Structures are given as structure tokens and as C-alpha cells.
Chains A and B, each alone.
Chain A
Amino acid sequence: AQSVTQLDSQVPVFEEAPVELRCNYSSSVSVYLFWYVQYPNQGLQLLLKYLSGSTLVESINGFEAEFNKSQTSFHLRKPSVHISDTAEYFCAVSESGGFKTIFGAGTRLFVKA
């Protein structure tokens, strides 16, 4: 069975500062990894995903995440955050070829002016 751990429940950061949201997973098989973002009272939106190939994946709004198999991590980073990035971010994992997705507890990113 897989599990996902997001070590930080909240991350406050000033606008234009860099940020890293941490995610570690455990699984006995190959996995796919995802980051989702949730704005208040809305569903989740896929931010980026790692399926195979390059371990560094990027989103269209400046976020990137790197799959590190040896450390079983998939940390999310952005070099310069905006106020509009304030949201809840969820790391998720599913077995390669599987259907079920397991979510981490979420990290609330709060960007201050």
C-alpha cells in the first residue's frame, strides 16, 4: 500500500520569495506522482505530474517538482511566488497502472505582501 506524507501543514512566505513544499511517499511498486492545487471552496486542479522520463517536471505557472527515487520524494518548488499562489496544495500518488490515488494531508501556502 502506498502512503504520502506532506511534512508541512502550513507554509507562510513573502511575495516574490522562493518556496518549497515537501512531499515524501512510500510504495513497494513503481508509482506515478502528482501535485494538485485547491482554491477555497473549489475542487482540485492538476498542477503537474510525474509518470516516467525526466525527473524534473514543470507546470505552466512556474512551479516545478523533482522526482527523487532514492529519497522517495517529490518536492514542489517555485522560485518566486505571487499572492495568487495562496492555496492548498496536495501531493498524490498512484500505482503505475493502477487507478486509485492516495492524497497527502495537504500544505496550505500563504503568500504575504
Chain B
Amino acid sequence: GAVVSQHPSWVICKSGTSVKIECRSLDFQATTMFWYRQFPKQSLMLMATSNEGSKATYEQGVEKDKFLINHASLTLSTLTVTSAHPEDSSFYICSAREGTSPNYGYTFGSGTRLTVV
């Protein structure tokens, strides 16, 4: 089945630094990927839709200058948290769908636990 690899699985960084998270579709091409943020014991909040070869579409309230998304190829999307602060600490998850048919469902990465100290 479709596999989405997310790296790193956890990262600790100092306040003010930037962190890059990668999301790769291993055995399929994904023109669209999604980035979510999940706070403890809460649901997933869609942050942005990443489109290959074009600008990402951000949800209302998400700072696009802070959460930079690049979807340079059909198998890779990256999320960069710029000038990270402790309030950015969270669990970040990406997802992609193989093909346009909803029969495939969405495949999720294993998530990245970001801790900003």
C-alpha cells in the first residue's frame, strides 16, 4: 500500500532557530499533500495544502511566513518552522493521497514531535 515517510520523528531546537520537516511519498506520486498540527489530546488542525510546483494554500489563521511549505517534486513536501518559539511546540503530521480517487483514502506520515526550548 501507499507509504508516506516523515522525517524527523522528533526534534528539539532552541528558540529562534528554524526547523525543517520532510514528508515523502515513497511508492506513489502526490501532487497534493497536507500539513496538520495536533496539540495534546486534541484533533488535527489542517494548516495548509501543499501543491506540487505552486504555492501552498494556508488555512485561516496560519502564518505563511512562519510555516514555509515547499513542494518541489511529486514525492516531497517540506514544512519549515521559522524562528521557532515554545508555542510552536506540537506534533506535526503530513498526509497525501495516491491518485485523485477517494477510494485510496489518505495516507499519513508518522508525525514529527517538535519541542522548542
The chain A residues found within 8 Å of chain B, CB to CB, are 32, 34, 36, 41-46, 49, 51, 90, 94, 96-97, 99-106, 108
Contacts and interface: CB of A to CB of B under 8 A. Distances in A.
B106 A43 contact: no
Interface of B: 4, 6, 9, 32, 34, 41-44, 46, 49, 91, 93, 95, 97, 102-103, 105-111, 113
A74 to B, nearest CB: 14
A43 B105 contact: no
B32 A104 contact: no
Nearest to A101: B106
Contacts of B46: 100-102
23 contacts: A34-B106, A36-B108, A41-B91, A42-B110, A43-B4, A43-B95, A43-B108, A43-B109, A43-B110, A44-B44, A44-B93, A44-B95, A46-B106, A49-B105, A90-B43, A96-B102, A99-B32, A99-B97, A101-B34, A101-B46, A103-B44, A105-B43, A106-B41
A41 B110 CA distance: 8
B4 to A, nearest CB: 8
Describe A's contact surface by its main secondary structure.
strand
A43 B109 CA distance: 5
A44 B32 contact: no
A36 B105 CA distance: 10
A48 to B, nearest CB: 9
